[in-house]
Amino acid sequence: MLQRKQEVLLNTTRKLLRKNAHIRLKHIVEHVHPADVAVLFRFLPDEHQDIIFSLLSENKRRAEVMSHLEDVIINRLLSEYDINDVAEIIKEMDDDDAADMLANLDEDQSAAVLKLIGREEREEIEDLLRYDEDTAGGLMTTDLISLPAEMTADEALKEIKRQGEEPEMVFYLYLVDDDGRLIGVVSLREVVQSPGDTILEDIMTRNIHKVRTDTDQEEVASIIARYDLLAAPVVDEENVLMGIVTVDDIIDVIREEATEDILKLVGAHEELLEDYSLRRNVMSRLPWLLATWMGGILVMKLMGGYEDTLKKVLPLAAFIPVVIGMAGNLGTQSATIVVRGIALGKVDVNRLWDTVGKETMTGLVLGTFYGTALGVVAYFQYDEIPLLSVVVGLALCCSMLIAAMVGTLVPMVLHRMNVDPAVATGPFVTTSIDLVGVFVYFQISILLL
Amino acid sequence: MLQRKQEVLLNTTRKLLRKNAHIRLKHIVEHVHPADVAVLFRFLPDEHQDIIFSLLSENKRRAEVMSHLEDVIINRLLSEYDINDVAEIIKEMDDDDAADMLANLDEDQSAAVLKLIGREEREEIEDLLRYDEDTAGGLMTTDLISLPAEMTADEALKEIKRQGEEPEMVFYLYLVDDDGRLIGVVSLREVVQSPGDTILEDIMTRNIHKVRTDTDQEEVASIIARYDLLAAPVVDEENVLMGIVTVDDIIDVIREEATEDILKLVGAHEELLEDYSLRRNVMSRLPWLLATWMGGILVMKLMGGYEDTLKKVLPLAAFIPVVIGMAGNLGTQSATIVVRGIALGKVDVNRLWDTVGKETMTGLVLGTFYGTALGVVAYFQYDEIPLLSVVVGLALCCSMLIAAMVGTLVPMVLHRMNVDPAVATGPFVTTSIDLVGVFVYFQISILLL
């Protein structure tokens, strides 16, 4: 949610933009936190974004603001600048942000920018660009303090003084052997608290929560969150220290993954929150709706086969929406609980039938409750067909029971088949519940009426 | 998601429990990380949890494991222990964890435990218990380093050495005046890097991202995430430093809030992930389904009024599920995108019509596409009633358009009325879309057939 402070900032900015009061605006955007400037970009039209960006006088500050911006906005801004200016901005960034930035540019542009950057920095960025952006390698920074394990506490403190402001995360010191292999970690606190002549090796922790460059970002997040770390070291297959992933990057990952999970369940994509183009919006939502549409056609065909039953007892039609609506909603509840439970590691996917059994029981109880209630309503509404109340009650109960089972089973089976349960669960569950619901409903009708 | 390592640990534990190999099991649970022991509890039945808990030999270790456990499990474990043992365990906890633990016990128990704890610690915990658990006060720890601003860097380092291992977060030092009011912050790095006689006041940052004890946890999370902080200081209304909230607690908040948002949208509660009792499960899902059920009754009544139309053109019934299904899904997509967008501060709630307009356009395009496709199918399926294809096509298009509008408008209006959009959006949107869909469908039928 936007904080009050940011809403005030946004309103003030809009007012100053309307009045073309650029000098006052410049004063503001130069002095608030770069993350707050980035919030402005999210809510202002392109031409106003350009004005604000041009008001930032130093490349250092532009780089800071950019590291808080979304990819779509960055690409648009950079496309309006000369390649030399882009290089000047990127030079001012932390290496991990610079690599992210370049990964988003098209290849020609990215190569052109790299040529304009100094050799040492270029090599660091190129190293980072080799990694998939959803892995520890793609998230990590190479700005860290690594020291030989035989150093003393005093020497370590001297080294930190020498390094100045560069490393992002100075609170953990990583100890390596002569080949750069990670052997331990000490915190700055431990160094400060130890007598000056203590050998770091003697106070270091050897049991380190480290990750590999190719570890998936979700797993990195889960390790940092579980063990309450401020940063996790990243090593290659030879255990050579390559970088660190810091907790602030992990917070972004956790938010993104949660948002992705939510939106996937309804067949939408995360970018829709960042880029509201009509074409993109339509195209990204089309496939999921296609599954629903095709399911609907099947339901239509299925119902065509029951036309005779329907002709005999016309009121049957009036109860179809409530039966499939209730079943669909219950199934979606079960599916959502299971998908989120899997994501948080709170559902044991190896105990399939435990979870399915419990959810099915819930479906049975809720189905009996609402089925009975619906039967009573039907009895009074259509008292000329007393059996109708039994049919609708029983149909609601059965379809809710099945819905709970399907809603639980589908994501768990998908997960076991290594398919992301969030992406395929939604349309599959709602469509199959509609079909099964209509089928059960008419079969019971034929049997009883 | 569970990591491979934890799955192995879980399987090994199950095997050892089956064999009653308690000595080997003890060796394992005494040596893995407390967070990993906590994972075992989540997946094992009560009697096995008890065995493992009893195998932990020291109260210190029991306290560590408990600080990673869910409330339901903690309460069950504590209810089986004598009050003196409970007090011994709680004594070993960090003060914020101890306060959380006591807040969950019933009042008599909590008072009895507090009596058994030493005065100083008791007072600290009692202070923390005063705050609502969803606020900065409820999250914070009082274990921090606060120093007078006139101290020198050397004196500060000496003070840190003296404090030993106690404070959780030693990397920020908070500077206060004589009345304990927060005036600045320095990082341990800055202290280490400065000459020994530097006065802290001269190097401190005055522009601090601080929060109040009553600041909502979601806002605390958003501040720590936005400004990439490791901890935020918490002050009272007089600006007196009361504690700090650390980033690891914030990660838990972010996860919880995201999970809450997802589950609220389908009318389920977060506790369902932790406690799978049938009664709780049924009761927490009943209300949301009640809204759907009542909506279904209304739809049924509405359809009763169109019985004559339906009698004349029986195939109309076969298209009802696809029309309300498509509209319902599209509306849920819109609602989910908006709810999540509001939560992440990516939707500008003051520009209501911008967002509604864009979503409605999307609904129109998607509705036209799928409406036309449905019309074509209807034309070939029921070629004896050519106008039916126009009716179903038009009805699908209109109801999808309306669904997108309703799905966007409802959460935004709720948010403006200070109602949590996630909790009320789901049932309201699906129910009203069902009603409107059926109404539009039959009105178009009457008009054209």
Residue B127: its pLDDT value, please?
85
Q: Does residue B424 carry a pLDDT above 80? A: no
Could you say which of A1, A328, A348 has the minimum Cβ distance to residue B218?
Answer: A1
Contacts of A416 in chain B (CB under 8 A): none
Residue B271: its pLDDT value, please?
64
> Using 50, 70 and 90 to split pLDDT, how confident is the model at B395?
very high
Looking at the complex, does the CB of residue A27 fall below 8 Å from at least one CB of chain B? no
Residue A445: its pLDDT value, please?
93
Shortest Cα distance from A21 to chain B (angstroms)?
Answer: 23
Residue B437: its pLDDT value, please?
93
Residue pair B372/B393 in contact (Cβ under 8 Å)? The answer is yes
Contacts of A365 in chain B (CB under 8 A): 278, 282
Query: Which three-class secondary structure string do you get for A188-251?
Result: HHHHHHCCCCCEHHHHCECCCCCEECCCEHHHHHHHHHHCCCCEEEEECCCCEEEEEEEHHHHH
Residues in CB range of A145: below 8 A, 6 or more apart = A159, A160, A163, A167, A170, A172, A173, A174
Q: What percent of chain B has pLDDT over 90?
A: 44
Residue A143: its pLDDT value, please?
84
Q: What is the token pair recorded at A69?
A: 């911006």
Q: Tell me the average pLDDT across B96-122.
A: 84
CB A1 to CB B345 under 8 A?
yes
Distance of CA A90 to the CA centre of its chain: 26
Contacts of B228 in chain A (CB under 8 A): 35, 248
Q: Tell me the average pLDDT across B327-344.
A: 88
Size of interface A-B (CB pairs under 8 A): 339
Side chain identity at residue B266, one-letter code: V
Separation between Cα atoms, residue A113 and residue A372, nearest integer Å: 70
Q: Tell me the average pLDDT across B396-411.
A: 94
Higher pLDDT, B137 or A121: B137
* ipTM for the complex shown: 0.81
Looking at the complex, does the CB of residue B254 fall below 8 Å from at least one CB of chain A? yes
- Residue with tokens 């049991």, as numbered in its chain: A207
CB A300 to CB B222 under 8 A?
no
| CB-count exposure of residue B42 (10 Å: 0-12, 13-18, 19+) | buried
Separation between Cα atoms, residue A373 and residue B335, nearest integer Å: 29
Residue A408: its pLDDT value, please?
92
> Using 50, 70 and 90 to split pLDDT, how confident is the model at B168?
low
Looking at the complex, does the CB of residue A288 fall below 8 Å from at least one CB of chain B? yes
| Residue from A104, A108, A117, A107 nearest A77 by CA | A104
CB B289 to CB A322 under 8 A?
no
Residues in CB range of B265: below 8 A, 6 or more apart = A262, A336, B335, B336, B339, B422, B425, B426
Q: Does residue B439 carry a pLDDT above 90? A: yes
Residue pair B424/B393 in contact (Cβ under 8 Å)? The answer is no
DSSP H or E stretch at residue B140: none
Looking at the complex, does the CB of residue A301 fall below 8 Å from at least one CB of chain B? yes
| CB-count exposure of residue A392 (10 Å: 0-12, 13-18, 19+) | buried
| CB-count exposure of residue A361 (10 Å: 0-12, 13-18, 19+) | middle
User: What part of A 86-115 touches B (C-beta under 8 Å)?
Assistant: none
Q: Using one digit for the tens of pLDDT, what is the confidence trace for A14-28?
A: 999 999 999 999 999
Residues in CB range of B248: below 8 A, 6 or more apart = A225, A228, A229, A247
- Residue with tokens 């038009």, as numbered in its chain: B394
Separation between Cα atoms, residue A167 and residue A194, nearest integer Å: 22
Shortest Cα distance from A296 to chain B (angstroms)?
Answer: 4
Residue A213: its pLDDT value, please?
95
A182 bridge partner residues: A176
**Residue ranges of domains in chain B, CATH in brackets:** 4-135 (1.25.60.10), 146-246 (3.10.580.10), 270-448 (1.10.357.20)
Q: Does residue B45 carry a pLDDT above 70? A: yes
- Residue with tokens 């992440």, as numbered in its chain: B344
A211 bridge partner residues: A234
Looking at chain B, which residue has its C-alpha nearest residue A274?
B346
Residue B293: its pLDDT value, please?
93
Residue A276: its pLDDT value, please?
66
Looking at chain A, which residue has its C-alpha nearest residue B351?
A43
How many other CB atoms sit within 10 Å of the CB of residue B232?
Answer: 25
Residue A232: its pLDDT value, please?
94
Q: Does residue B349 carry a pLDDT above 80? A: no
Separation between Cα atoms, residue A179 and residue A182, nearest integer Å: 9
Separation between Cα atoms, residue B329 and residue B336, nearest integer Å: 10
Looking at the complex, does the CB of residue B273 fall below 8 Å from at least one CB of chain A? yes
Residue B240: its pLDDT value, please?
95
CB B362 to CB A314 under 8 A?
no
Contacts of B278 in chain A (CB under 8 A): 358, 361-362, 365
Higher pLDDT, B272 or B29: B29
Separation between Cα atoms, residue A130 and residue B16, nearest integer Å: 44
Residue B308 phi/psi, 5-degree rounding, is: -65, -45
CB B430 to CB A325 under 8 A?
yes
Residue B409: its pLDDT value, please?
92
Q: Does residue B117 carry a pLDDT above 90? A: no
Q: What is the pTM of this model?
A: 0.82
**Beta strands at B172-176 and B182-187: parallel, antiparallel or unpaired:** antiparallel
Residue B257: its pLDDT value, please?
82
Residue ranges, chain A, pLDDT below 50: none
Separation between Cα atoms, residue A271 and residue A266, nearest integer Å: 14
DSSP H or E stretch at residue A176: strand A172-176
B174 bridge partner residues: B146, B185
